[in-house]
Amino acid sequence: MPEMTFTVRWPDGTVANLYSPSLVMHDFLSAGSEYPLQEFVTKSAEALDVASARVRAKFGFECTSAMQQKAEILATAQNFNPSAAVRVLSMLPPLEA
């Protein structure tokens, strides 16, 4: 199962490299796009739930790394004004054309 990282810029300018155990993140977010904070949290959490479910289907157990990443996103988002935005800087590996 291919893994990926996605790099985001939080509303305070902090850049973070985030992890997904699946390329499914491409179905929810796009590199170069900016999302209202709550939309980013909702989309990334849903994508990480799907990724964890794929791991469970393949290996018989949930992906603890995906669940930890989701928890970190939720915790970090609470530090910002709900009207703020998150920019997705990159997604690696990128989608193939």
Total count of domains within the chain: 1
Query: Higher model confidence: residue 8 or residue 95?
Result: 8
pLDDT exceeds cutoff 90 at 38: yes
Taking Cα atoms as reference points, which of 4, 87, 85 lies closest to residue 50? 4
Domain hosting residue 84, numbered range: 4-92
In a domain, 75, yes or no: yes
Q: Kindly report whether the peptide bond that precedes residue 93 is cis, defined as omega within 30 degrees of 0.
A: yes
- Does residue 97 sit within a domain? no
The rounded distance, in Å, linking the Cα atoms of 94 and 49 is 20
| Mean pLDDT along residues 51-67 | 90
What predicted TM-score, i.e. pTM, was given to this entire model?
0.92
